[in-house]
Amino acid sequence: MSEVSLYHTYVQNHNGLTGTSFVEGDEGLALGVSSSLIKAPGTNPEQFIGFALATCFNATIRLVEAREKTAEDSALRVRVDIVKDDPGYKFLVTALIAMTEHERQDAEHIIAVALDECPVAKLLKDNENVVFRLVDDLNAEPVLGE
């Protein structure tokens, strides 16, 4: 059986990290893009990854919380770093998840379920450079690469 797309979009970029990336069609979304490694205006790939993961994963956690009839209290803060790699560069992603109204074991269960349901988390969760961490304080700074 072939998969049926529930939604699709096309995003175009013609000039790499300078210029604009845009969504085709009626949505009309266009964003100036840049590199985090140069002083230039625009949104960078690190920010796009952070936005995608924070939004999609937290929405999925909230859906799981609602389905399990428990407190809908999750909040996410995603740190994305770029570091030198051989060759090129790599991203280090740390998703900090706070669920203050849950016992740790219950929160960990909800996170595990959400990791298997969220499309963005599914793309990233098995990458050694991506960490999902339950925390008490979203403002605590994670150690780089941990």
Please list the pLDDT of the chain residue by residue as tens digits (146 residues). Answer: 689 999 888 899 988 888 899 999 876 789 999 988 888 888 999 999 999 999 999 999 999 999 999 999 999 999 999 999 999 999 999 999 999 999 999 999 999 999 999 999 999 999 999 999 999 988 877 766 56
Q: The whole model's pTM is what?
A: 0.90
Q: Is 121 exposed, middle or buried (CB count within 10 Å of its CB: 0-12, 13-18, 19+)?
A: buried
Can you tell me the distance from the alpha carbon of 83 to that of 102, in angstroms, rounded to the nearest whole number?
34
Taking the C-alpha atoms of residue 101 and residue 117, their distance in angstroms, rounded to an integer, is 22
Distance CA 138, CA 74 (A): 11
